[in-house]
Structure formats: C-alpha cells, structure tokens
Amino acid sequence: MEKIKIGKLNRDKRRRTNIIDKADLENRKKECMNALLNRPWITKEHDPQLYYWIKEQQHELKQWFMDYAGYPLFVNGKIAKLDKAPVVAHSWMGFQEFREPLDYALFAYGLWFLESKMEREQFLLTDLVKEIREYMSEQGMEVDWKNYFHRLSMARALKKLKSLNIVQAVDGQESNWAMNDEKDVLYECSSYSRYVLRNFPRGLTEYTKMTELRETLDYGSEQEELNRRRKHHLYRRYLLEPVVQDGFWQDDLLYFHGQRKNVLAQIKSMFGWGGSRYREGIVFFEPELVSEAELFPTLSSISDLALLVCGVVRSHVINEDSSLRIEEDGAVRLTKGEIERILIKLKEEYGEYWINDHRKMQSADLAMEVCNHLLEWGFGEWEENGFFLLYAIAGRWMAKYGPTELEV
C-alpha cells in the first residue's frame, strides 16, 4: 500500500492552474504590444496586471521592438516604457491639450524643476513658477506671470503633468491660479518625471539638424547599418502613422517592395492588425471597434462628413463626364471651392443628420475643417498652390445615411 504524502495532490493542482493557454498568451502579447505603442508608459501602480504581463514577456517584446523598429523598451520595478520617436513628425502627434509653443516650453521647464525633487516631496506652485521664471531669464527667455496668457500656458502644462501622474494636486487648482496669480496650489511629486523625456543615442549638442533627432540609435555608415536604418524607418512609420503610401518611400521604394510580405506578417503576428495591399500602398485595420489607438472613422461627426465627401469624389471620378482629373498615382486634385460645393449639396440632402455646429458653419470654414481632418488621417495634403490633393486611399471608403434599427 502506497504511503499518502500530505500536500502532494495540492501541489499538482497548483501547478496545473498556472498553465496558460497558448492563444491566451498570444492575446496577452498583442495587448502588451498595443499598449506600449499607444500609451506614454504602463505603471505597476495604476495597471498592475498589464505591467506584470509585460514583465513576464519582456525579453520577446524588447527583442522585437529593437530588431524591427529600433525602439528601446525599459522595464524596472515601477514602470514599463517604450522609447518612441516618429520618422515623420505630424501636428497631431503632440499634446492635443496644448495651444501655444510656450505650453511645451513650460512643460519641459516643469520637468527641469522636478529633477531636484524626491518622490512624495511636496512643493508650492508659487515656488515652481518663481524658479522657472528665474532660470528662463538666465537663458535669455522672458515669461511674465502677470500676463494672463502666460499663466494659462503654465496651467495647461501643469494639467498635463497631472494627467500623466507626474505630479498630484494636494490642495488647490492651477485654473484658479491662472485667473488670479495670488492663488496657490500644493503639489506632490511622483517618481515618473525622470521617464518622460526620451533618451538620445548622442549628446544633444552633437546634433546639427532637426531631422537627426528622429533617430533612436546611432547607426553606422556601413551598408548593413544603412539597411537596418531603412528597416526601422519602415516599421516605425507603419506603427505610428495611419496611412503610408508607396510613394512616400521615394529613394527606399525598392527596399520597401522587398519587405512588404514580411511587414504584413510581423505586424499581424505581434499586434493583431489586419493589413491589405492596394495599388497605392498597404493599409492596416484594427480587427475590433475598440482599440488602444484612436481609429478612423472617429466618433466625431467631422469623420462622417469626411467620408461623405470622399464618397462623392469617388462617384465623380467613376463618372466619365466628370471634370475631375485623376493623377497617375490615383490622387485627385480639388480646389477649396469644389469641396465647398460638395458640402453645400450634401447639406441640402443630409443636413438634418448633422450636428447644429456643422449646419450653421459657413461652407468655407466647414470645407477647411473637413480637409484638415483628412490631412490628419493621412488621406490628403494641402499644396502650395492652394489645391487639396486627395490621395487614392480615400477612395477605399464609402458612406451614406440610412435607417438603422437600434437594439434596446
């Protein structure tokens, strides 16, 4: 008769419960990859589950991001952060809350002030603005806290620091200080301020051009290193930009054509995005309606109007009698007046579905808003001669209003 060992059965059960299905592991990996790409960072304090998933898979994640995009991944006892930088900087990549260049300057000087502070250390807003003003003055820059607009910029910078959990307001609000500089706010530091700015492969004084700042690694001049840089640029643009047409690659077009299949396979495997190859280039789609990233069409009503305009242009292009001329790459060049006329006709037909602001807006202003929305999403660009060049990719979408049954 075999002796019964106390605890043996329980140990086996515990071991079995730690087994994770392969499909679940893949889904976790994709969730981690998308979060790292779209968030500033992931902290153990605010998202412990995701943080531990990243920590468990950090070797594979680090290797992929470095091999394919040249992005370093940092993981320590508090935070996981992917050090990202775009190849092509677009306006929408900045802080949407900021309105003036001064907002960014004061945000950076706020980080400078926090360098000397310990975690959980408290400080007053009046001390922060005093030190910032004095330091900026030493650098030959002037800021006047008696100026209401300068205080508004500082308030926006502080709100961004709060939203990133870099500082916490213990007592008071910076909006009150913006209205009256005699008001004060008590803040408390976190340990995250040192992780905000990205690391550069060289000292900042060694850079002579703004375009050099986009590099995350110090590439060599050998052909192998040049190909490595091309590969990283290729993946970085697809990961950060909504639309990247073949024509954007210019000198690297031959290299790009040799990488297309691999790009589709790698991004689908690691991020779960579905990719489609069109004549004008590769477009990636999220498989779900909910994502870490903002998706097109957005929930804003301006996306609806943009889709309607694209649909009208597409129908005109198909019509042989249309005066619109298609470029060799499939793009269509439009005047602002032509876009206004399209919107006026759409308003007559569908205006009852539009929000009040768009119904009341002047056609010229509405045309500008629609074009700028298409520009932000990579569907077109303004030319120096005043024309709006609508890319061929915009013709892949068609939209129309119709009856919809809502489930209650």
Regarding whether 281 and 228 lie in a shared domain, the answer is yes
Regarding whether 214 and 186 lie in a shared domain, the answer is no
The answer to whether residue 114 sits within a structural domain is yes
The answer to whether residue 185 sits within a structural domain is yes
Regarding whether 317 and 378 lie in a shared domain, the answer is yes
* Cβ neighbours, 10 Å, residue 253: 11
The answer to whether residue 390 sits within a structural domain is yes
The answer to whether residue 14 sits within a structural domain is no
Across the chain, which has 408 residues, the per-10-residue mean pLDDT values are 45 47 91 96 95 96 97 95 93 91 96 93 95 94 94 96 94 91 91 88 88 90 91 93 83 74 93 89 85 88 94 84 77 92 94 92 95 94 91 84 58
What local confidence, expressed as pLDDT, does residue 397 receive? 79
What local confidence, expressed as pLDDT, does residue 11 receive? 45
Residue 103 near residue 151, CB atoms below 8 Å: no
What local confidence, expressed as pLDDT, does residue 270 receive? 96
Regarding whether 123 and 148 lie in a shared domain, the answer is yes
Pick the last residue of a domain from 165, 195, 225: 195
382 CB-near residues (< 8 Å, 6+ apart): 371, 375, 388, 389
257's tokens:
């054509």
Pick the closest to residue 111 from 172, 203, 196 (CA basis).
196
The answer to whether residue 189 sits within a structural domain is yes
What local confidence, expressed as pLDDT, does residue 245 receive? 85
Regarding whether 96 and 78 lie in a shared domain, the answer is no
What local confidence, expressed as pLDDT, does residue 253 receive? 67
The answer to whether residue 121 sits within a structural domain is yes
What local confidence, expressed as pLDDT, does residue 9 receive? 45
Regarding whether 217 and 175 lie in a shared domain, the answer is no
Regarding whether 104 and 73 lie in a shared domain, the answer is no
Regarding whether 68 and 26 lie in a shared domain, the answer is yes
Regarding whether 129 and 164 lie in a shared domain, the answer is yes
Pick the last residue of a domain from 82, 112, 131: 82
Residue 186 near residue 170, CB atoms below 8 Å: yes
What local confidence, expressed as pLDDT, does residue 258 receive? 76
Number of folded domains that form the chain: 4
What local confidence, expressed as pLDDT, does residue 260 receive? 84
Residue 143 near residue 109, CB atoms below 8 Å: no
In terms of residue numbers, what domain contains 256? 206-285
At 306, which CATH number? 1.10.10
